[in-house]
Amino acid sequence: MNHFLQRPHSGILQQGPRTHSREKMSDIFEIFNSSVSAVLPGDLVRRRVVLNKNTLRIMDRDFDLSNYGDIYVIGAGKASLGMAEEVENILGERIKTGICCVPVKYTELERIEVVETSHPVPDERSVEGAKRAVSILHNTGEKDLVICLFSGGGSSLFVLPTGDITLEDKEKTVSLLLKSGADIREINTVRKHISGVKGGKLAGEAYPSTVITLLISDVVGDDMSVIASGPTVPDETTYADCMSIIDKYGLSPPRRVLEHIKAGIRGDIDETPRSLPNVVNFVMGNNLLALESARKRAEELGYNAIVLSSTLEGEARDVARLLCVVSTEVVHSGNPVGVPACIIAGGETTVRVEGSGKGGRNQELALAFTICVDGIDGIELLSAATDGIDGPTDACGAIVNGGTAERARALGLSPREYLRDNDSYNFHRKVHTILYTGPTHTNVGDVEIILCR
Same structural domain, 23 and 149: no
Strands (E), 118-209: 145-151
In a domain, 48, yes or no: yes
Rg of the chain taking only CA atoms, in angstroms: 22
The burial class, CB within 10 Å (0-12 / 13-18 / 19+), for 177 is buried
Residue 170: per-residue pLDDT: 97
Cis peptide, bond prior to residue 208, ω within 30 of zero: yes
CATH number at residue 398: 3.40.1480.10
Residue 235: per-residue pLDDT: 97
Same structural domain, 206 and 153: yes
Q: Is the pLDDT of residue 17 over 60?
A: no
Same structural domain, 241 and 114: yes
Q: What are phi and psi of 148, to 5 degrees?
A: -105, 145
Residue 113's alpha-carbon distances to 93, 99, 183, 350, in angstroms, are: 14, 5, 33, 34
Sheet strand arrangement including 55-58: 49-52, 55-58, 61-64
Average pLDDT over residues 299-322: 98
Q: 271-307, pLDDT tens digit by residue?
A: 999 999 999 999 999 999 999 999 999 999 999 999 9
Q: Closest Cα partner for 398 from 387, 390, 406?
A: 390
Which of 285, 319, 340 terminates a domain? The answer is: 285
- % of the chain exceeding 90 in pLDDT: 93
In a domain, 65, yes or no: yes
Residue 56: per-residue pLDDT: 99
Same structural domain, 157 and 48: yes
Distance of CA 307 to the CA centre of its chain: 19
CA distance 113 to 90: 17
Same structural domain, 214 and 327: no
Number of domains in the chain: 2
Which amino acid type is present at position 195?
S
Same structural domain, 351 and 443: yes
Q: Quick one: angle between helices 184-193 and 255-266, nearest 10?
A: 80
Q: Closest Cα partner for 159 from 103, 101, 205?
A: 101
Which of 253, 285, 317 terminates a domain? The answer is: 285
In a domain, 4, yes or no: no
Q: 365-420, pLDDT tens digit by residue?
A: 999 999 999 999 999 999 999 999 999 999 999 999 999 999 999 999 999 999 99
Q: 84-139, pLDDT tens digit by residue?
A: 999 999 999 999 999 999 999 999 999 999 999 999 889 999 999 999 999 999 99
Report pTM.
0.92
Neighbours of 439 (CB within 10 A): 18
In a domain, 394, yes or no: yes
Residue 161's alpha-carbon distances to 54, 121, 164, 198, in angstroms, are: 38, 14, 8, 10
User: With bands split at pLDDT 50, 70 and 90, how would you rate the model's confidence at 23?
Assistant: low
CA torsion sign, 356 to 357 to 362 to 366? negative
Which of 256, 285, 314 terminates a domain? The answer is: 285
Host domain of residue 187: 41-285
CA distance 396 to 399: 10
Q: In sequence order, what DSSP letters do the residues of 381-433 get, joined into one string? A: EEEEETTS--SSSS--EEEEETTHHHHHHHTT--HHHHHHTT-HHHHHHHHT-
Q: 163-189, pLDDT tens digit by residue?
A: 999 999 999 999 999 899 999 899 999
Output the average pLDDT for the chain: 95
In a domain, 33, yes or no: yes
Same structural domain, 66 and 153: yes
Same structural domain, 98 and 128: yes
Q: 65-89, pLDDT tens digit by residue?
A: 999 999 999 999 999 999 999 999 9
User: With bands split at pLDDT 50, 70 and 90, how would you rate the model's confidence at 337?
Assistant: very high
Q: Closest Cα partner for 287 from 362, 387, 192, 382?
A: 387
Same structural domain, 24 and 133: no
Q: 211-267, pLDDT tens digit by residue?
A: 999 999 999 999 999 999 999 999 999 999 999 999 999 999 999 999 999 999 999
Residue 140: per-residue pLDDT: 98
CATH number at residue 136: 3.40.50.10180
Residue 20: per-residue pLDDT: 44
Residue 12: per-residue pLDDT: 26
Same structural domain, 393 and 426: yes
Residue 2: per-residue pLDDT: 63
Which amino acid type is present at position 431?
V
Same structural domain, 169 and 201: yes
CA distance 233 to 337: 40
Same structural domain, 297 and 316: yes
In a domain, 2, yes or no: no
User: With bands split at pLDDT 50, 70 and 90, how would you rate the model's confidence at 9?
Assistant: very low
Residue 414: per-residue pLDDT: 99
In a domain, 242, yes or no: yes
